[in-house]
């Protein structure tokens, strides 16, 4: 790292190879250069790199602000438009600094040609009143979840939207809802119930609903005011148009749906799940609710409580190919009618069904009878949906020798976070190594749950191959260990310009000394990275140090001042220090928007942005081993519906 600190971050040295990131940026913007500019070395480089850029357009998601800050206005404008036209998904840390670059060069007025996600990060006080509706409508087509670390910016966006609408409404019209877009995800239950029924289209964009929002959704559906009509008249196409919202339909409403329609919809959901177009965890929530409502009324279905006697008939391979299998066999009948030979030979087809938790426990018990000494490795790759049920002691009896097995078990729908260490240790015990490819496959969040010894065992070369992994959800103790490992891995880079992009995701474990070195290198840290710094380290930084560390991004403190880490630091400052940062003396003052009308549902925002003390989702309120987390999120693969309908799966 010593050598890295001796170099400035002023750009590539003469005679050195230009970074691919800068070459790509230049190639994307070359067409906007003037004739005179085309004679410069930079333009020559752009012309040379252009074929490479066309062949590697997907790499735009690796956009980095440092090379972009070297571009003149016309080329940066072309870059931003390219990001929009190619629909490149950028992360919050990329968007926040890009928004500041665009604002500094006066590009914000061209918002109609910019990515909607980027508009979320713009300075809303600079939005002209005449552009209010157009700007807000485009911004709310973005993903507000990107503002997770900028709570004041999200609140200001709501204020701007309400200003455009002329103030809070008792009932949101269809046109209001079009303008609000994904901001409706912050609405409280009362607002959902009284809104125009087209609010369903807005709710489809929510990554999750709170219990109160789900109850309001059911009240709205039960009223019959939506295009679906009353539950008794629902059709298959209408149910499919509900998409992920169908998982929130209560058993009481399913009881009112015509049996044939309900079964057709159930069959379509299970088919999508078995084909891999719908995540098991997501389908399981719907199936569990549906079966609770429909089990007594399904024709020819035996009543529960029949003990271990098989009434429905022995389960065969053909039985398991039926998408209505779970309708015909409840969990008691599954246990009574599923023989060990059939289970052994058809484990994969069985587990392709979104089994309710009770049924999963039945299958686990049967597998324990078949494999009393532990499940063979070739079967482990098939039971990823059951892994959460296994105790650490049971996992210790497994033999894991293949990286593919580790990847299967530690996939997002696999082991619970607190099972990561046990699964990985079985692999390491058989002389396995944690490679860069494995780290990329299991994701940075799994690093949070590796033991310090396992982290130390990662070879620096493998961490370099893995590149920038997101460890923002890790507890502070793991961030500290991971930073030390990352510093070891990346210290051989030639300059801070090369070092910083690699070390940035790990700076949550950085010391005061490390941050001071970055200040000297003028890195202009983005606000998203800043909010993930060690809170105790941040308390040791002076106003001058923070100002230099953030550089051109220092104004983003206003957008994040309610973030727990930022708020704690701001409260330690004097009024004069706050004014030096461009902030007023009230640390709780909201970010400025076009106005400050407060709708009745703005306080609901806290439910979506509630801090979890820096813990990962699975550590902050996640179930322990043996219980199932049930969250309906956006689905990974879409299923097309008939023309004119929404997607069944988003």
**pLDDT 10s digits, 84-125:** 999 999 999 999 999 999 999 999 999 999 999 999 999 999
The residues, any chain, with a CB within 8 Å of residue 267's CB and separated by 6 or more, are: 323, 324
Q: How many other CB atoms are found less than 10 A from the CB of residue 250?
A: 17
Q: Are 172 and 180 in contact (CB under 8 A)?
A: yes
Which of 172, 114, 169 shows the shortest CA–CA distance to 141?
114
Own/partner contacts of 581-585, CB < 8 Å, gap of 24 or more, are 581/543, 581/546, 581/547, 581/554, 581/557, 582/554, 582/555, 582/557, 582/558, 583/557, 583/558
Q: Are 160 and 594 in contact (CB under 8 A)?
A: yes
Beta bridge partners of 639: 649
Residue 244 — φ and ψ, nearest 5°? -65, -15
**Three-class DSSP category at 639:** strand
Distance of alpha carbon 241 from alpha carbon 326, whole angstroms = 23
Q: What is the pLDDT, as a whole number, of residue 467?
A: 84
Record the tokens describing residue 625, joined without a space.
């081993």
Q: How many other CB atoms are found less than 10 A from the CB of residue 641?
A: 17
Q: Are 185 and 192 in contact (CB under 8 A)?
A: no
Q: Which residue has the higher pLDDT, 3 or 287?
A: 287
Q: What is the pLDDT, as a whole number, of residue 169?
A: 73
Distance of alpha carbon 172 from alpha carbon 192, whole angstroms = 9
Which of 478, 474, 407, 401 shows the shortest CA–CA distance to 438?
407
Q: What is the pLDDT, as a whole number, of residue 594?
A: 55
Q: What is the pTM of this model?
A: 0.80
Most confident of 301-305, 557-561, 641-645: 557-561
Q: How many C-alpha atoms does 1 have within 13 Å on its Cβ side?
A: 15
Q: How confident is the model at residue 60 (pLDDT cuts 50, 70, 90)?
A: low
Provide the CA 475 distance to its chain's centre, in angstroms: 18
Q: At what angle do helices 20-29 and 41-55 cross, to 10 degrees?
A: 100
SS (H, E, C) 549-565: HHHHHHHHHHHHCCCHH
Record the tokens describing residue 296, joined without a space.
């007594």
Rounded average pLDDT over 165-190 = 90
Whether 628 has a pLDDT exceeding 70, the answer reads no
| CB burial string 254-283: b at 16+ within 10 A, e below | beebeeebbbebbebbbebbbeebbbbbbb
pLDDT digits (tens, 9 = 90+) for 521-576: 889 999 999 999 999 999 999 999 999 999 999 999 999 999 999 999 999 999 99
Whether 629 has a pLDDT exceeding 50, the answer reads no
Q: Are 320 and 353 in contact (CB under 8 A)?
A: yes
In the DSSP assignment, the letter for residue 636 is S
Residues in the chain: 650
Q: What is the DSSP string of 489-555?
A: HHTTSSSHHHHHHHHGGGGGG--HHHHHHHHHTT----HHHHHTS-HHHHTT--HHHHHHHHGGGGG
Whether 13 has a pLDDT exceeding 60, the answer reads no
Q: How many C-alpha atoms does 620 have within 13 Å on its Cβ side?
A: 12
Q: How confident is the model at residue 605 (pLDDT cuts 50, 70, 90)?
A: very low
Which of 500, 493, 504 shows the shortest CA–CA distance to 531?
504
Q: Are 302 and 337 in contact (CB under 8 A)?
A: no
Q: What is the pLDDT, as a whole number, of residue 66?
A: 75
Rounded average pLDDT over 351-365 = 96
Distance of alpha carbon 189 from alpha carbon 211, whole angstroms = 9
Distance of alpha carbon 415 from alpha carbon 402, whole angstroms = 16
Q: What is the pLDDT, as a whole number, of residue 45?
A: 33
Which of 290-294, 444-448, 514-518 has the weakest average pLDDT?
A: 290-294
| CB burial string 123-159: b at 16+ within 10 A, e below | bbeebeeebbbebbbbbbebbbbbbebbbbbbbbbbb
Which of 227, 147, 143 shows the shortest CA–CA distance to 181?
143
In the DSSP assignment, the letter for residue 363 is H
Which of 232-236, 450-454, 490-494 has the weakest average pLDDT?
A: 490-494
Record the tokens describing residue 351, joined without a space.
């587990």
Which of 108, 150, 152, 153 shows the shortest CA–CA distance to 127?
108
Q: What is the pLDDT, as a whole number, of residue 584?
A: 75
Q: Are 71 and 38 in contact (CB under 8 A)?
A: no
Q: Are 104 and 552 in contact (CB under 8 A)?
A: yes
Q: What is the pLDDT, as a whole number, of residue 417?
A: 86
Which of 169, 213, 166, 224 shows the shortest CA–CA distance to 190?
213
**Three-class DSSP category at 356:** coil
The residues, any chain, with a CB within 8 Å of residue 486's CB and separated by 6 or more, are: 463, 502, 503, 505, 506
Rounded average pLDDT over 504-526 = 94
SS (H, E, C) 315-354: CCHHHHCCCCHHHHCCHHHHHHHCCHHHHHHCHHHHHCCC
Provide the CA 7 distance to its chain's centre, in angstroms: 36
For the chain, give percent helix, strand, coil, nearest 5.
60, 0, 40
**Three-class DSSP category at 434:** coil
Could you tell me where the beta strands, DSSP code E, fall in 118-259?
A: none
């Amino acid at each position: 790292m010593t050598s890295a600190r001796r170099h400035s971050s002023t750009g590539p040295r003469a005679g050195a190879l230009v970074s691919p990131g800068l070459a790509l940026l230049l190639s994307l913007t070359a067409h906007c250069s003037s004739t005179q500019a085309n004679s410069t070395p930079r333009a020559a480089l752009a012309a040379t790199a252009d074929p490479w850029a066309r062949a590697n357009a997907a790499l735009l998601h690796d956009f980095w602000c440092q090379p972009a800050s070297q571009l003149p206005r016309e080329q940066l404008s072309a870059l931003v438009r390219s990001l929009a036209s190619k629909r490149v998904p950028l992360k919050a840390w990329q968007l926040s600094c890009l928004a500041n670059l665009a604002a500094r060069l006066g590009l914000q007025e061209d918002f109609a040609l910019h990515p909607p996600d980027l508009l979320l990060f713009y300075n809303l006080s600079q939005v002209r009143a005449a552009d209010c509706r157009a700007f807000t409508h485009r911004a709310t087509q973005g993903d507000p979840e990107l503002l997770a670390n900028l709570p004041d910016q999200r609140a200001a966006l709501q204020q701007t939207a309400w200003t455009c609408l002329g103030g809070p409404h008792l009932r949101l019209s269809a046109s209001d809802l079009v303008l609000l877009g994904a901001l409706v995800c912050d609405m409280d239950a009362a607002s959902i119930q009284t809104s125009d029924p087209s609010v369903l289209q807005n709710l489809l964009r929510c990554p999750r609903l709170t219990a109160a929002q789900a109850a309001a959704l059911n009240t709205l559906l039960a009223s019959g005011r939506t295009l679906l009509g009353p539950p008794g008249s629902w059709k298959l196409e209408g149910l499919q148009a509900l998409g992920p919202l169908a998982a929130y339909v209560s058993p009481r409403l399913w009881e009112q749906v015509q049996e044939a329609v309900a079964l057709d919809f159930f069959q379509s959901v299970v088919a999508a799940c078995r084909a891999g177009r719908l995540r098991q965890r997501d389908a399981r929530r719907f199936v569990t609710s549906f079966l609770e409502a429909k089990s007594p009324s399904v024709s020819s279905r035996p009543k529960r409580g029949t003990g271990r006697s098989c009434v429905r008939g022995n389960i065969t391979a053909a039985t398991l190919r039926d998408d209505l299998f779970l309708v015909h066999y409840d969990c008691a009948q599954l246990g009574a009618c599923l023989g060990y030979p059939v289970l052994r030979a058809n484990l994969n087809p069985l587990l392709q069904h979104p089994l309710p938790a009770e049924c999963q426990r039945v299958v686990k018990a049967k597998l324990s009878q078949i494999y009393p000494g532990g499940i063979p490795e070739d079967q482990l790759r098939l039971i990823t949906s059951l892994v959460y049920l296994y105790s650490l002691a049971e996992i210790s009896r497994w033999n894991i020798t293949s990286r593919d097995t580790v990847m299967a078990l530690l996939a997002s729908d696999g082991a619970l976070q607190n099972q990561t260490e046990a699964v990985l240790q079985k692999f390491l015990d058989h002389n396995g190594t944690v490679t860069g490819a494995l780290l990329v496959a299991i994701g940075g969040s799994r690093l949070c749950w590796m033991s310090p010894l396992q982290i130390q065992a990662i070879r620096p070369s493998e961490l370099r191959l893995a590149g920038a992994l997101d460890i923002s959800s890790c507890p502070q103790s793991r961030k500290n260990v991971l930073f030390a490992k990352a510093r070891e891995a990346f210290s051989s880079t030639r300059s801070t310009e090369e070092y910083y992009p690699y070390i940035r995701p790990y700076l949550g474990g950085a010391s005061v000394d490390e941050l001071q070195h970055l200040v000297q290198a003028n890195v202009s840290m983005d606000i998203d990275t800043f909010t993930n710094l060690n809170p105790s380290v941040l308390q040791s930084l002076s106003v001058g140090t923070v100002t230099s560390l953030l550089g051109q991004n220092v104004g983003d403190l206003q957008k994040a001042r309610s973030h727990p880490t930022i708020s704690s630091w701001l409260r330690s400052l004097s009024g004069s220090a706050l004014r030096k940062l461009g902030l007023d003396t009230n640390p709780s003052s909201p970010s400025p928007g076009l106005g400050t009308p407060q709708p009745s549902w703005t306080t609901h925002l806290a439910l979506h942005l509630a801090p979890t003390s820096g813990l990962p989702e699975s550590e902050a309120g996640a179930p322990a081993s043996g219980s199932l987390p049930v969250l309906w999120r956006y689905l990974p693969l879409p299923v097309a519906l008939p023309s004119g309908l929404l997607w069944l799966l988003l």
